[in-house]
Amino acid sequence: MKARIVIDKNKTVSRIDDRLYGSFIEHLGRAVYGGIYEPSHETADDMGFRGDVMEMIKELNVPIIRYPGGNFVSGYNWEDGTGDKSKRPKKMELAWQSVETNEVGIDEFQEWAKRAHSDVMMAVNLGTRGADEARNLVEYCNCETDTYYAEMRRKNGFEKPFGIKTWCLGNEMDGDWQICHKTAYEYGRIACETAKLMKWTDPSIELVACGSAHINMPTFGEWERTVLRECYEHVDYISLHNYYGNPNNDTAAYLASAVDMDSFIKQVAAICDEVKAEKNSDKTVNLSFDEWNIWFHSNEQDKHIEKWQVAPPLLEDIYNLEDAVVLGDLLITLLNNSDRVKIACLAQLVNVIAPIMTETGGRIWAQTIFYPFMHTSQRGRGTALEVSCGCGAYSAGGKKDIPYISSAAVISEDGGELTVFAVNRSLDESCGLDFSLSGYESFRPVLHTAMEGDDLKAVNTADDPKKVVPAEKDISDGIILSPHSWNMIVFQKTAQ
Ligand code: AHR
C-alpha cells in the first residue's frame, strides 16, 4: 500500500495549547497511595512522594494534572485533606467504596505537582456540596487577602497562594452512578451560580462545565445544550469524557476508535456554537477532553475486589501493543482538533488505567501506552498543520470508509522541526509514505521511530519492562509504516 501526505505551511489547524498533554490523578485505587505517594518506598522524598514515579512522569512532560477526581470529587470535603495530618479524618469513600485516609490532600498535591513540573487542574464537588464550598476552596488556593480561608492556608504553612488557574465544575453530573447526580437543568443552574462565585473570588481562573460522561449517554447532546444555555457566559470550556476498548477482540474496529473520537469532538463543538448563536454571544466556549483513554481490561477483575480497603488495586488495566497504536491515534485526533480542544487529560497517570505502573513497595515500569504519549508530548508542541492523506479505506464494526492511515503534523515553535505522527490501521499491509511539503521544501526526514510488532497482545510487565518499546527505523529506503503501527517521523530544516 502507498499513501501521500500533503502539508502546506499556510494551512494550519491551530497553535497547540500545551494543556493538550494533561493527565489526571484521582483518589482511586493505587493512584495516590502506592502510586505517587509512598513514604516507606526507598525512593521517597522528604514529603513521602515516590522519586521513581516522579522521574517517569517528568519524561512525559505533563503540563497540567486534574485532581482529585473523577467520581471521587462528588463526595469529597476538601478541608479533610488540609492541615495537621494526624488530625485528618479517615472516611468511607462512596464512589469507589474504599477507605480514604486523607493523608494526601490539596496541601500535599499542589506541592507534588510543582515538583513534577505540572500545574493542578482542580475539580470542585458539585455532588454533595455546592457554590459555597467551591468559592472557599478558590480563596484557600488562590487569594492573598487576610480573610478566613486564605489565612487557613497560611496557618497550614503556605504563605503564597497555590495559583490554580483551571477548575472543573464537578464531574460527570449526568451519570446516575455519580454521588448526587443531577438533571441537565439542575446542573446547569448550580454550575452557573458556582461559576459566578468562583470568578468573583478570583477573576483570573478558567472554568470547565461538565459535558456528557461519554458519547453513548442517553442524554448526550441535550445535556450539553441545556447546561450551556444556563451557564454559557460564565464558563470557558465544556468537558468531554470517553474511554475506548476492544472487549470483543475485533481489532480492525478497535483500530478505528479515533474516528469515533473525532465525531464526538465535532458534535460537541457544534453544540457550543449553536448555543453561542442562540445567545448572540461574542464568546466561544472551547473543549476540555479531560478524561480519555482505553479502559476495559480490568473490568472483570474489579468485580472481585473487596470493598472498604485503603488503596485497593482498582482499574489496573495492563496495556498491549494494539492499545498503544489506538492511543497514538487518539492523540492524532486531539492534535487535528486543537482549534477547539484546548485541554485534554489522559486518564489517568499512575496505576489506575495508566501509562505508569508500580508495585507498592517495589518496582516501576512504563506500559505500552506510555510511549505514544511521550512522543506527542515531547515533539507535538507548536502549531498543528492540516494534513491531507490520500490512502485506501476499509470497513469494520459497522463503520465504512475508515482510512487506513491516520496522521497529524506539528511545526515546532522555532519553525525548525516538522513532526508527522502516523498510524497504519491495516492489520496486514505495510504502507510506503510519500510527502509533499509545501513551504517546507528544505526539510528532510532525520528520524522515524515506530511501535510495531507481530504480537498485538504483547505487554510490558515488571519482569519484562521493555518487551514493547519504540525503535528507530532505517529511513534510507524511505518511510514505511508497518501494519498496525504507531509512528513518529521528524523532519528538520537543512541548509540549502
Ligand atoms: O477515570 C475513572 C473514572 O471514569 C472517573 O472517576 C470518572 O469520572 C469516569 O467515569
Q: What is the pLDDT of residues 55-86, one digit of tens each?
A: 999 999 999 999 999 999 999 999 999 999 99
CA-CA distance, 27 to 171, in Å (whole number)?
14
* Nearest CA residue ID for atom 1, ligand 1: 347
Separation of alpha carbons 225 and 212, rounded Å: 11
Whether pLDDT at 90 is above 70: yes
Among the atoms of ligand 1, which is closest to the Cα of residue 213?
Answer: 10
The neighbour count for residue 399, using CB atoms within 10 Å, is 13
Q: Select from 27, 72, 172 the residue to mutate for testing ligand 1; criterion: most ligand atoms less than 8 Å from CB.
A: 172
Closest CA to 398 of 221, 220, 252: 252
- Residue among 67, 73, 212, 291 whose CB has most ligand 1 atoms within 8 A, to mutate: 291
- Other CB atoms within a 10 A radius of the CB of residue 222 amount to 14
Task: Please say if the pLDDT value at position 30 is more than 80.
Answer: yes
Mutate to test the pocket of ligand 1, among 171, 173, 345 (most ligand atoms within 8 A of CB): 171
| Distance between CA atoms of residues 88 and 435, nearest Å | 59
291 is catalytic: yes
Q: Whose CA is nearest to atom 8 of ligand 1?
A: 70
**Cis before residue 70, ω within 30 degrees of 0?**
yes
pLDDT tier, 7 (very low <50, low <70, confident <90, very high otherwise): very high
Element (H, E) at 292: strand 286-294
Which residue owns the Cα nearest ligand 1 atom 6? 70
| Ligand 1 centroid to residue 28 C-alpha, Å | 9
The model's pLDDT over 249-288, given as tens digits with 9 standing for 90+, comes to 999 999 999 999 999 999 999 999 999 999 999 999 999 9
Q: Which residues pair with 291 in a beta bridge?
A: 241
Distance in Å, CA 342 to ligand 1 centroid? 20
Give alpha helix (H) positions in 82-167: 106-115, 131-142, 148-155
Distance CA 127, CA 359 (A): 33
Nearest CA to ligand 1 atom 3: 70
Residue nearest to ligand 1 atom 5, measured at CA: 70
Give the integer Cα–Cα distance in Å for 83 and 442. Answer: 58
Specify the pTM.
0.97
Q: Which of 24, 25, 26, 314 should be mutated for ligand 1, with most atoms under 8 A from CB?
A: 26
- List, chain by chain if needed, residues with CB within 6 Å of any ligand 1 atom: 26, 69-71, 171-172, 213, 291, 347-348
Average pLDDT over residues 287-291: 98
Mean of the per-residue pLDDT values for the chain?
97
Taking residues 32-57, what's their average pLDDT? 98
Task: Residue 133: count other Cβ atoms within 10 Å of its Cβ.
Answer: 17
Report residue 451 as a C-alpha cell. Answer: 511501535
SS3 446: strand
The mean pLDDT value for 203-227 works out to 98
Ligand 1 atom index nearest CA of 69: 6
Based on the residue annotation, tell me whether 172 is a catalytic residue of this protein: yes
CA 442 to centroid of ligand 1, rounded, Å: 46
397-436 pLDDT tens trace: 999 999 999 999 999 999 999 999 999 999 999 999 999 9
Residue 198: predicted pLDDT: 98
Would you say residue 496 has pLDDT above 80?
no
Q: 71 CA distance to ligand 1 centroid (A)?
A: 6
CA of 181 to the centre of ligand 1 (A): 14
Q: What is the pLDDT of residue 307?
A: 98
Residue 390 pLDDT level (bands cut at 50, 70, 90):
confident
311: left (phi over 0), alpha (psi -120 to 50) or beta: left
* CA separation, residue 23 to residues 63, 89, 120, 345, 370 (Å): 8, 28, 10, 4, 12
Take residue 478 and report the three cell numbers written for it. 524511505
Which of the following is catalytic: 291, 316, 417, 452?
A: 291
CA of residue 258 to ligand 1 center, whole Å = 20
The pLDDT of 328-332, averaged and rounded, is: 98
Average pLDDT rounded to a whole number, residues 116-125: 98
Cβ atoms of 360 and 36 within 8 Å: the answer is no
- Cα of 260 to ligand 1 centre, how many Å? 19
Query: What's phi and psi for 130, nearest 5 deg?
Result: -155, -150
The atom of ligand 1 lying closest to the CA of 24 is 1
Q: Residue 358: which H helix or E strand, with range?
A: strand 356-358
User: Please, what's the largest Cα pairwise distance for the chain?
Assistant: 68
Catalytic residue (one of 26, 79, 172, 452): 172
Residue 28 CA, closest ligand 1 atom number: 6
Ligand 1, residue 96: give the atom nearest the CA: 6
The pLDDT of residue 2 is 95
Half-sphere exposure of 81 (CA within 13 A, CB side): 21
343 alpha carbon – ligand 1 mean position (Å) = 17
pLDDT tens by residue, 437-486: 999 999 999 999 999 999 999 999 999 999 999 999 999 999 999 999 99
Q: Residue whose CA is closest, atom 4 of ligand 1? A: 70
Type of residue numbered 175: G
Residue closest by Cα to atom 2 of ligand 1: 70
What is the distance in A from the centroid of ligand 1 to the CA of 434? 41
Ligand 1: atom nearest CA of 243 is 4
Whether the per-residue pLDDT at 22 is higher than 90: the answer is: yes
Q: What is the pLDDT of residue 495?
A: 80
Neighbouring C-beta atoms of residue 417, cutoff 10 Å: 18
Q: What is the pLDDT of residues 181-208, one digit of tens each?
A: 999 999 999 999 999 999 999 999 999 9
N residues, the chain: 496
Q: Which residue has the cell 515500569?
A: 365
* Percentage of residues of the chain with pLDDT beyond 90: 99
Positive or negative torsion for Cα 38, 42, 47, 53: negative
β 286-294/341-347 pair status: parallel
